[in-house]
């Protein structure tokens, strides 16, 4: 029996791709014949994968897992697979976030949502990576069993050596950090606003580091750069796509992780911040509260004055910082590699035996 995974794009550093690669290792350990098939494979690759057109003939007892997060031709074709079908649902960023800046991506995501709806009665089982995503599938009319399985994160990778230059440069600098692709749903402008107020009134030495890839031609990124110029913002750094050891270093030097995102299906960076004991301040939206559980400083407002005030309180008051870290460490246990791995194995065996 085969268990294959299908992703639109397999790229190292992308949460969906990383999840697929980690699950592949688990499926291999379970003793099944497995492979990842992708429409696009971007280097560098940690794990071997094949292109979509290499998918072998699947038998009715085989299992195909489609990672659903964006528009792709394979999404609708998946309905015609003759094997047992599972959707691994990561959520699709609503196209409205891209209407103004990138009509192409808006269109891709519109098609993705159409596929989500189309597949509602054509799959056998779903694994949503958050309760928020599970509810989303239910709203699309999914009647099959849907279990929540958080993204599988190999934390061992985070113990690797961090970039020394960054560690040295920011050793005694107050760093506010956010990690995530430069995309309109992540609301980088709100991070900048709150940071500027924080820097102005509370901590002139502070630096805002925005780790995440961008394209110079991207309208949203250009708007952010222009915004920085127009408000005369200082010490806001876009790192762009960087090496893994540099990402590790930024987490190690960060004093606070600030998230103002308005749409997340899971938000791996929150778990990364937990791992590195970086206190989290986050806006209460979509899957963020379910990933954080009871930890982190979750705010219902984005008022820059209030966010800046919170950053100040956490930076200055050790007791708040320590309590946040204690709660985050407790929450982090829920995402341990062994725990999620065991959960996945149990769910897959149950599906194989009972069809659910």
Partner 1 sequence: METIDIEKIMQEIRQDIKEKGYTNDMLSFDDIVIENGTDRTMEEYLDTLNDLWNIQPYKVLVSGHGILGKLKVFLKKIIRKTIKFYIEPITIEQNEFNANNVKFLNKFFSYMEMNNRKIEMLEREIEILKNQIKSN
Q: How far is CA 148 from CA 20, 87, 341, in A?
A: 16, 12, 13
Site for partner 1 in 217-276 (CB under 8 A): 217, 219, 222-223, 226-227, 230-231
Distance CA 6, CA 24 (A): 11
3-state secondary structure at position 341? helix
Q: Are 254 and 172 in contact (CB under 8 A)?
A: no
Distance CA 113, CA 165 (A): 43
Binder among 96, 141, 303, 330 for partner 1 (CB under 8 A): 303
Piece in contact with partner 1 (CB under 8 A), picked from 73-81, 106-114, 315-323, 343-351: 315-323
Phi, psi (rounded to 5 degrees) for 38: -135, 150
Binder among 193, 199, 263, 341 for partner 1 (CB under 8 A): 193
The closest of 160, 132, 164, 163 to 148, measured between CA atoms, is 132
Binder among 305, 330, 336, 346 for partner 1 (CB under 8 A): 305
The closest of 181, 187, 175, 282 to 227, measured between CA atoms, is 187
Residue 174 Cβ vs partner 1, minimum distance, rounded to whole Å: 18
Piece in contact with partner 1 (CB under 8 A), picked from 86-94, 105-113, 203-211, 304-312: 304-312
For partner 1, the closer CB: 156 or 300: 300
For partner 1, the closer CB: 167 or 298: 298
Q: Which residue in the block uniquely carries the two structure tokens 């509370």? A: 202
Binder among 37, 195, 276, 297 for partner 1 (CB under 8 A): 297
**1 binds partner 1 per the rule CB under 8 A:** no
Phi, psi (rounded to 5 degrees) for 9: -135, 135
Where on the chain is the footprint of partner 1 (CB under 8 A)?
103, 189, 193, 196-197, 201, 217, 219, 222-223, 226-227, 230-231, 297-299, 303-306, 309-310, 312-313, 319-320, 322-324, 327
């Amino acid at each position: 029996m085969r268990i294959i995974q299908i992703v639109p794009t397999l790229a190292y550093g992308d949460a969906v791709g990383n999840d697929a690669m980690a699950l592949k290792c688990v499926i291999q350990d379970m003793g099944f014949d497995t492979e990842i098939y992708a429409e696009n494979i971007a280097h560098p690759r940690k794990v071997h994968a094949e292109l979509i057109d290499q998918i072998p003939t699947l038998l009715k007892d085989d299992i195909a897992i489609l990672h659903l997060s964006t528009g792709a031709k394979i999404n609708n074709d998946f309905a015609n697979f003759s094997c047992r079908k599972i959707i691994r649902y990561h959520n699709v960023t609503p196209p409205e976030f891209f209407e103004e800046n990138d009509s192409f991506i808006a269109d891709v995501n519109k098609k993705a949502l159409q596929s989500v709806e189309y597949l509602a009665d054509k799959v056998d089982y779903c694994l949503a990576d958050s309760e928020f995503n599970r509810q989303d599938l239910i709203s699309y009319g999914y009647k099959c069993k849907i279990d929540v399985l958080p993204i599988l994160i190999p934390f061992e990778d985070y113990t690797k050596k961090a970039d020394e230059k960054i560690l040295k440069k920011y050793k005694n600098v107050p760093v506010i950090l956010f990690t995530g692709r430069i995309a309109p749903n992540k609301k980088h402008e709100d991070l900048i606003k709150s940071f500027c107020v924080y820097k102005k009134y509370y901590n002139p030495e502070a630096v805002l580091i925005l780790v995440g890839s961008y394209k110079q031609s991207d309208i949203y990124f250009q708007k952010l750069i222009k915004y920085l110029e127009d408000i005369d913002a200082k010490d806001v750094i876009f790192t762009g796509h960087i090496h893994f050891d540099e990402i590790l270093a930024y987490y190690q030097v960060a004093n606070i992780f600030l998230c103002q995102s308005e749409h997340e299906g899971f938000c791996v960076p929150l778990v990364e911040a937990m791992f590195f004991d970086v206190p989290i301040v986050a806006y209460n939206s979509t899957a963020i509260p379910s990933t954080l559980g009871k930890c982190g400083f979750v705010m219902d407002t984005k008022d820059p004055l209030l966010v800046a005030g919170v950053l100040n309180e956490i930076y200055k008051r050790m007791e708040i910082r320590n309590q946040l870290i204690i709660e985050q460490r407790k929450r982090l246990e829920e995402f341990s590699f062994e725990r999620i791995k065991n959960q996945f194995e149990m769910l897959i065996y149950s599906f194989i035996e009972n069809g659910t």
